[in-house]
Structure 1
Amino acid sequence: MVLIVRVLMGVIKDRHGTYYARKTVPAKPTGLRRAVALELGTAKPAQSHLKRSLGTKDVRDANVRAKPVLAEFDRIIAKAKARLAATTEAVVKRTSLNDTEIKRMAEYVYATALKEDEALRFSGRLELLGPHGENVNADAHGDILRDFQQQFAVGDVSFAEQRAQNALAGFGITLDPSCTAYHSLCIESAKAFLKALDDIGLRYAGAVIETPRLAGSKALDDHREGRTLQDALDGWKRHRARPKRTVDEFGRSVDMFIQLHGNMPVMAIKKTHAIEFRKALQDAPRHRTGDLLRATLPAQAAWGREHPDEPRITAATVNKQLGGVQSICIWANDNGLVPDDVQWTDPFSKLRLPEERSERTSFDAAELQQLFSAPIFTDHRFPLGAHGAAGFWLPVLALFTGARQAELGSLTAANVRTDAETGVALLHFVTERARGKRVKTDASERVVPVHPDVIRLGFLAYVEERRKADGADAWLFPSVAPDRGRAGIPAWYSGLAVTCARRA
């Protein structure tokens, strides 16, 4: 009888038959290998592997001797990560985690341990022993489990610290090791790791224990192409041409959701995930400078909770971010990214916050007189921020049409036509998705006569100049056209357009 025995992961035989313990130092986060070299005090600029001879050619003895060595390797890497985090200025170091984050990272620890075991079982790295002796590989596993259980029983969770560090790195979080949240994460990681070791033991007994497929982890990618939230965003972008501003806004919303919950399959997003996302958005500060500009949503929310007196982002902004993710999820369901046999409901439904009504009021006649007495209208002296002709014509058109700023900013020469029967000049407000032109609703597509005073001011002559310069489809105001975004629209025009739109 021949007994097949596996060697513990990280235990390797050299060419002379002697076993040694070896662990690869992760390449990420950047600088970790350099930090490990500093931790060891070596002259090397970076340390890619940790290696130590076990001084034996017996596989059973090697498995026993390897346990404390590999644990020491884990501690070295954990200390190096802490060293790196302490010297990394570009990352906001957090001092808290919410319950959801700790739960997700504990799940990560559990799934990672099972995946490592699964990879080793099918790796082909087997060792053949003679006909005597029992299954020492299963015995070695049992010894490890009992050792860790005994450590946990007296409150020692150091055996799981490296796995907690790996989970933090996997979720892109830098956490202060001295804070309470770090200790809580280590405790939950220890519980998850012990549970994983229990289940690995059941595998030795012949039980089929599936490795969970966790969202948000590259190492645990479930390979279900086209089903994750990121896949849905990518598909939505490819589906048809969309305004750059909309693409950027939806992409930002999805990025923040993924920062909090990971890249989840759309069908797995539940109401609780959406509520937690809303809560994190509500905790995020309105004004961000320095490191907060690059911080993830969980880091922003944590900072906001630690600074309760700082103003938060508005309800309108929260609703915009919720709406971005909601739109992508609905698109995914409508376009087959959610399996047909899954009963999907919109998790973001009815989650929008009540928004404060604007305190802006309409201009009165005196205010309009003051506004249009500016030199740009009386002497054609254009200030630096006027964006050329847009600074003159946009306020005038807003006053006489009541149209929205985006509608006016996206007008083309082709949108100005003269009716053949009446000879009246008309403005056509229509959607042209390929060019990023849009109206707010289908009912907003309309035709508005050009006011005689606007014609008297030379608007039709200006339109003809734009046709001659750039063709029949030329943007009337290229400096603020959809392909340039709305950021360049003059500030005074924004307020006037909104006011006139209300009055119309």
Structure 2
Amino acid sequence: MRILMGVIKDRHGTYCARKTVPEKPNGLQAAVARELNNGKAAQKHLKRSLGTKDLREANIRAKPVLADFDRIIAKAKASLAATTVPTVKRTSLNDTEIKRMAEYVYAKALAWDERVRFGGRDEMKRIEAEIIRLEGAVEQPLIAQEQWPQRGMPRGVYEENKAELLDTLREMREAAAMGDISAVQDHVLEAMLAFNVELDQHSPAYIRLSTACLHSYLRALEDIGKRDEGITVEAPPLALPGAAAITADGGTLKDALEGWKRHRARPKRTVDEFSRSVDMFVQLHGNMSVAVIKKKHALDYRKALQDVPRHRTGDLLHATLPAQAAWGREHADEPRITAATINKQLGGVQSICIWANENGLVSDDVQWSDPFSKLRLPEERSERTSFDVAELQLLFNTTLFIEHRFPLGAHGAAGFWLPVLALFSGARQAELGSLTRPMCRQMSKRDWRCSIS
């Protein structure tokens, strides 16, 4: 049976209001149980009889009950928040995020309808098992599973679902006409959970997201109605952040990253930096095909990086790029990451995209150009200059190099070898400081040329 608007039937045909308690934040279901004072360890769903077998009357009675459920959950969240470290809530979303989350609501509604409509007896068993796992109980269906066909649905279920859809569609249209975004609150919360977004519900961004989700859900109901008339409507894939997808344009950014890793052995530090750059791009735009990444995507990525605060602690340290950028915009006085860091992140994604184009992950039919070209920011020039010959002679004439007497600050042999390696290799301090013994042996085999005569 299709579950819409939080209204279901019990085994006797009487309608009930039901709302699932989210699994996140962690501990919320236990907090709801404490709020109800029912002795349970956790409350996975809230349910109350509406005392009617008429769907129209049930929908009227359900609204204040569902609102009461929302208040219970809100109080439980407040009590939970009082005993936990507060999380960083976002107050803004970009257009791409809102579009993708609204598309998720549409795709999920059609995917659920497709499971019920075409799945048959076996799929209904799987659905029941999922509901029991998530909510702990399931109502006895009006038509027993054994009476379902191997594929498709019984006529009685089809007719009942079709009648319910018409009522729900009417209510959603009224909600859209009145701007009542609360009608899709559950769908909005599911989308935020799926995309790992903690959005302040009092922010303008929440209204924009809810409006987009309302329109998407309304469009989904209209397309489900077309299916009821026998018209084919395909369900789009559920595109979550980081989900891989191969399109006609070629491989995705994540595919390119994995191919680049396998292509040849690379320093761990480089792999980690490039992976981090790609992850942040995916957090902002999703796992796009390399061929469809345009200059605007690269510019939006750079703009988000420019808003990232330099000093990040607590939840902000592990937050996504959009969350960090949003926090930075709200705290304009906080220092930002440097241009050098931004250029490094831009260069990481750029290198992976160029590798993808050169290694067949962009279709030959696509006219590809580097979207990250000429996007690097000007960096502050270092005031440090190179050592001249006299300074080098003064340095290497000390007792550390002549008599091998290591002062405390030299940290043993490191104080001797790091300056020597720097002299002959020209490598940076950070690069030399991270060397391992095998890497040093490899360096010793090279024909380094002395930089002084």
Scaled by the length of structure 1, the TM-score of the pair is: 0.68
Q: 2:305 aligns with which of 275, 281, 296?
A: 281
State which of 310, 333, 339 in structure 1 corresponds to 2:334: 310
Matched-pair contact (CA < 8 Å) for 1:110–1:192: yes
RMSD (Å) for aligned C-alpha atoms: 3.9
Change (3 A) 1:272 1:211: farther
For residue 383 of structure 2, the aligned residue among 356, 359, 369 is: 359
Aligned twin of 2:202: 178
Letter in 1 for 2:44: S
Give the CA deviation at 1:175.
1.7
Q: Check the 8 A contact 2:108/2:238 in 1, yes or no.
A: no
CA distance, structure 2, for counterparts of residue 234 and residue 81 of structure 1? 43
In the TM superposition, residue 168 of structure 1 has moved relative to its aligned partner by 1.5
Q: Residue type matched to 1:72 in 2?
A: L
- Please give the per-residue CA displacement for 1:310-368, whole angstroms capped at 9, x wherever unaligned: 22112221111112122223334444444565554433333222333222223456755
CA shift at 1:387, angstroms? Answer: 4.7
In the TM superposition, residue 158 of structure 1 has moved relative to its aligned partner by 0.4
1:139 is matched with 163
Q: TM-score, normalised by structure 2?
A: 0.75
Name the counterpart of 2:58: 65
Counterpart Cα distance in 1 of 2:200 and 2:408? 47
Matched, 1:329 2:323: no
Q: CA deviation at 1:189?
A: 1.9
User: Contact conserved, 2:28 with 2:80, CA < 8 A, in 1?
Assistant: no
2:91 aligns to what?
95
For residues 334 and 81 of structure 1, what CA distance do their matches in structure 2 show?
54
Q: Which residue of 2 aligns with 1:230?
A: 254
Query: 1:284 Cα shift?
Result: 0.6
Deviation at 1:23, TM superposition (A): 5.7
- In the aligned structure 2, how far is the partner of 1:39 from the partner of 1:190? 30
C-alpha change, 1:298 and 1:32, in structure 2 (3 Å) is same
Instruction: Please list, as runs of the form range in 1=range in 2, the aligned pairs for 1:64-213 lying within 5 A after superposition.
Output: 65=58, 69=62, 72=66, 75=70, 79=74, 83=78, 86=81, 88-89=84-85, 91-124=87-120, 126-129=153-156, 135-213=159-237
Contact 1:81/1:165 (<8 A) preserved: no
Residue equivalent to 1:239: 263
**Structure 2 CA distance, aligned partners of 1:81 and 1:194?**
30
AA aligned to 2:298 is A
Find the residue that maps to 1:310 and give its secondary structure.
coil
SS of 1:142 mapped into structure 2 = helix
The Cα shift of 1:7 comes to: 4.7
Unaligned runs of 5+ in 1: 1-5, 417-427, 430-446, 452-499
Residue 45 of structure 1: aligned partner? 41
AA in 2 matched with 1:195: R
Indicate how the Cα distance of structure 1 residues 375 and 150 shifts in structure 2: closer, same or farther if over 3 A, else same.
farther
Q: Post-superposition shift, 1:231?
A: 3.7
Residue 294 of structure 1 deviates from its aligned partner by 1.9
* TM-aligned CA deviation for residue 304 of structure 1: 1.2
Q: Does the CA-based 8 Å contact 1:75-1:162 persist in structure 2?
A: no
Q: Structure 1 368/334 Cα, relative in aligned 2: closer, same or farther at 3 Å?
A: closer
Q: How far off its partner does 1:205 sit?
A: 2.6
174-183 or 65-74: bigger deviation: 65-74
CA contact (8 A) 2:7 2:62 kept: no
Contact 1:214 1:222 in 2 (8 A): no
Cα distance between partner residues in 2 of 1:84 and 1:100: 34
Distance in 2 (CA, whole Å) between partners of 1:31 and 1:346 is 46
Call closer, same or farther: CA 1:138–1:250 in 2, change over 3 Å: same
How far 1:382 moved relative to its partner?
3.5
2:372 pairs with 1:348: yes
Please report how far the alpha carbon of residue 245 of structure 1 lies from its aligned counterpart in structure 2 after TM superposition.
Answer: 0.6
Amino acid of the residue matched to residue 257 of structure 1?
F
Match of 2:129 in 1: none
Measure, in 1, the Cα distance between the counterparts of 2:209 and 2:411. Answer: 53
Q: Provide the C-alpha distance between the structure 1 equivalents of 2:33 and 2:256, rounded to a whole number of angstroms.
A: 42
Quote the Cα distance in structure 2 between the aligned partners of 1:229 and 1:196. Answer: 29
Q: Against the structure 1 CA distance between its residues 181 and 415, is the aligned structure 2 distance closer, same or farther, given a 3 Å change threshold?
A: closer
Aligned-residue identity in percent: 59
Is the 2:106–2:219 contact (alpha carbons within 8 Å) kept by the matching residues of 1? Answer: yes
- For the pair shown, the structure with the greater C-alpha radius of gyration is 1
Name the structure 2 match of 1:294.
Answer: 318
